[in-house]
Amino acid sequence: MESRIAMAVHGGAYVIPEPERKAHRDGCIQALQVGWGLLEAGASSLDAVEAAVAALELDGAFGAGVGSALNEEGVVELDGGLMDGSSMQVGSVAGIQQVASAIKVARKVLDSQYALLVGDGAVRFAERNGLQLVDPRSLVSPRELRRWQESHGRQSETWHREMFGDTVGAVAVDRNGCVAAGTATGGSPRKPKGRVGDSPLVGCGLYADNRTAAVSTTGHGERLIPLVWAKTAADMVGAGIEPQAAADAAVELLERERVRGGLIIADRLGRLGIAWNTPQMAFACRVAGSSDFRAGPEG
């Protein structure tokens, strides 16, 4: 029996400046359409998630891929991860420069014998596997250069309260009832070179298991890692909680710990959950049988 397809994408949960909200919403809708088209044509959730996250990375509006926040040296340094809920294979990369899409490198890692590659080695791996390296300057957006210059390249201790955090991610279930999750980010603004947050870490920034759910998260990485937040949310679905209730409960857990963030969930029955405790979250989602999508932030 064919399963019901479903997909959700996000473009970060934080205080999205009013003039940037439409671009965030539109970027999410476009990425959803890319992934949805693939799912409808019978592609795997893994392919759909990779394509949707890559679209978000190339959009320029988000803090992932092109347009990412700059590290203390004024350079874009990316993290990302992709997980397949049927094979339970994962591919992640961290601290990579000279590539426009961390998720594409993560896919190559997933298809290899490795699970996590970092830094220069990951860049070399990307090149060996046919991905194009780019001039790092081509990844720097005028918006992020301005922010970096205004802060003199220094990260304040309270950066997470400023809440610039437009990490991107996607979750999907395909016709075969297989789920997948992907997350990609440029990390926190003005981060020290080599800093890695939750986004590429299995169980923290992403998780996918056909028996439970696919989850992609966004938020204050240093605080989300100890919560193993993505796996915690997936396990709630595994325990019989419906995905939206699981997303709400996962955010309640954040509230209790005074952490800010958001997450998207898809299970193999084609049910979705989306929740956040920041002022806005950029997202778009659609389930089989509805001709329409839902998207935010409004206004």
The question of whether 167 is a catalytic residue gets the answer yes
The single residue among 71, 92, 97, 167 that binds ligand ASP, judged by CB under 6 A, is 167
What is the rounded CA–CA span in Å between residue 49 and residue 107? 10
**Piece in contact with ligand ASP (CB under 6 A), picked from 120-128, 146-154, 206-214, 215-223:** 215-223
Which alpha helices (DSSP H) does 117-272 contain, by range?
119-128, 142-150, 159-162, 221-227, 229-238, 243-257
Kindly identify the residues of this chain, within the stretch 100-159, that bind ligand ASP according to CB under 6 A: none
Catalytically annotated residue among 158, 167, 183, 212: 167
Give Cα 15 distance to the centre of its chain: 17
Does the protein bind ligand ASP through residue 221 (CB under 6 A)?
A: yes
Contact status, residue 221 vs residue 199, Cβ threshold 8 Å = yes
The single residue among 72, 84, 198, 235 that binds ligand ASP, judged by CB under 6 A, is 198
Does the protein bind ligand ASP through residue 95 (CB under 6 A)?
A: no
Q: Which is nearer to ligand ASP, 65 or 219 (CB)?
A: 219
Query: Please, what is the minimum distance in Å from the beta carbon of residue 225 to ligand ASP?
Result: 8
Query: Please, what is the minimum distance in Å from the beta carbon of residue 78 to ligand ASP?
Result: 10
Does the protein bind ligand ASP through residue 169 (CB under 6 A)?
A: no
Binding mask 5-24 for ligand ASP (x = CB under 6 A): -------x------------
Does the protein bind ligand ASP through residue 72 (CB under 6 A)?
A: no
The single residue among 177, 182, 189, 197 that binds ligand ASP, judged by CB under 6 A, is 197
Contact status, residue 178 vs residue 170, Cβ threshold 8 Å = no
Strand partners, 168: 184
Q: Which is nearer to ligand ASP, 187 or 270 (CB)?
A: 187
Task: Tell me the residue ranges of DSSP E strands in 109-211.
Answer: 116-118, 168-173, 179-185, 206-208
Does the protein bind ligand ASP through residue 218 (CB under 6 A)?
A: yes
Alpha-carbon distances, residue 120 vs 54, 80, 117, 201, 246 (angstroms): 21, 15, 9, 18, 38
Give me the sheet containing 272-276, strands edge to edge.
206-208, 214-219, 261-266, 272-276
The single residue among 35, 187, 273, 297 that binds ligand ASP, judged by CB under 6 A, is 187
Contact status, residue 277 vs residue 252, Cβ threshold 8 Å = no
Q: Which two tokens stand for residue 191?
A: 């981060």
Active site residues: 167
Chain residues that interact with ligand ASP, rule: CB under 6 A: 12, 63, 165-167, 185, 187-188, 197-199, 218-219, 221
